[in-house]
Amino acid sequence: MKGKRVIAGILLAGILAVTLAGCKNTDNTKEETEKPV
């Protein structure tokens, strides 16, 4: 049970990190596209 929880926690942390990184990347691209216009 503990092992499964650890694995689930690592997966959740990885997914959160990817989503946060993705949001930051999209925000940066939005700002870059808005500036020239």
What is the per-residue pLDDT for 10?
94
In our burial notation (b when 16+ CB lie closer than 10 A, e otherwise), range 14-26 reads eeeeeeeeeeeee
- The pair phi, psi for residue 25, each rounded to 5°, is -65, -45
- Which 8-state DSSP code applies to residue 19? H
* pLDDT score recorded for residue 28: 62
Q: What is the pTM of this model?
A: 0.52
| 1-37 confidence digits (pLDDT tens) | 688 999 999 999 999 888 888 776 666 666 666 665 5
pLDDT at 11: 95
Looking at residue 19, its pLDDT comes to: 85
